[in-house]
Structure 1
């Protein structure tokens, strides 16, 4: 018999509308506090934003079978999503109101296998450099004993975000 999982998410337009109005750090703090909904991908994969400060963001996930690839371990795309989120939000946390970002690339190095037995994992993103038009960030994926499971670097494009008049 097949397994199933049901989940809900909030309208992503609510958070998207807030992007240009506040600093990136304030936006992420509003999500962390539950005053703004997180992006739907966090519900899809069941991961959470746990910490944010300027230049740093931490996400976590408890691996489940729903994250598995055909060989019985967590799919690399799940690793990449966590690392991309952590690195990108580390960049976002440094942006002033009216600025946004998008990832230009993501380079991931997979170092250890993750299964349900691994337990909760954390993706810790930090900014390395931010210029006027681009930023460079890195993220590490670690287990509860801080063993390195994966590493990523990401380049991001910075751009002005149009603010809607409400």
Structure 2
């Protein structure tokens, strides 16, 4: 998986306007488009994609802990924001994009360091101006539910 190394590696709004959100996400999955740098920084990758559903897979490391030695809430939040918002992205038409307007997470239990998890985002509604999605973080091996989330995204028209 290739990662964007600079702003020059990212698509311009004009380039992005020529593909649907699903085509954009498929381009990342297939390696034709670079993955966002945040996913390398926080150790997660795009694992599955279909219209209205995205799965990121990751494993928390010691570098992602808080002063108490547990996985920082920001790691949960970033994975959930990524999966839920990208689920919305898969439903956005050509010529449009999205951004997160707000999101909420509920951490149900601490993820043990080294535990591989899937973060699943599912779009509930995507219209002309808003998208709503929910998500969850589950252990790949143990199946435990570690966190849930919900989001509202704004859908915008791109220039071009």
Q: Do both share a fold (TM > 0.5)?
A: yes
The yes-or-no answer on 1:79 pairing with 2:89 is no
Say which SS state the counterpart of residue 96 (structure 1) adopts. coil
Residue matched to 1:125 = 121
Question: CA offset at residue 23 of structure 1?
Answer: 0.7
Does the 8 Å CA contact 1:15/1:37 hold for their aligned counterparts? yes
Residue matched to 1:98 = 95
Give the Cα separation in 1 of the matches to 2:11 and 2:147: 29
Q: How does 1:10-25 map to 2 (within 5 A)?
A: 10-17=5-12, 18-25=15-22
Residue matched to 1:156 = 153
Change (3 A) 1:132 1:88: same
Does the 8 Å CA contact 1:133/1:158 hold for their aligned counterparts? yes
The yes-or-no answer on 1:57 pairing with 2:54 is yes
Structure 2: segments with no counterpart, 5+ residues: none
Q: 1:139 aligns with which of 135, 154, 158?
A: 135
Q: What is the TM-score with the length of structure 1 in the denominator?
A: 0.88
Q: 2:106 aligns with which of 106, 109, 128?
A: 109
Question: CA offset at residue 127 of structure 1?
Answer: 0.5
Give the Cα separation in 2 of the matches to 1:77 and 1:101: 21
Structure 1: segments with no counterpart, 5+ residues: 1-7
Alpha-carbon RMSD: 1.4
Q: C-alpha offsets along residues 19-61 of structure 1, whole Å, 9 cap, x if unaligned?
A: 2221111111110111110111111112101111100000011
Give the Cα separation in 2 of the matches to 1:35 and 1:11: 16
Give the Cα separation in 2 of the matches to 1:151 and 1:59: 14
Question: CA offset at residue 64 of structure 1?
Answer: 0.7
Q: C-alpha offsets along residues 94-153 of structure 1, whole Å, 9 cap, x if unaligned?
A: 111110001111010000101314x10111000011222111100101012221100000
Q: 1:88 aligns with which of 85, 90, 106?
A: 85
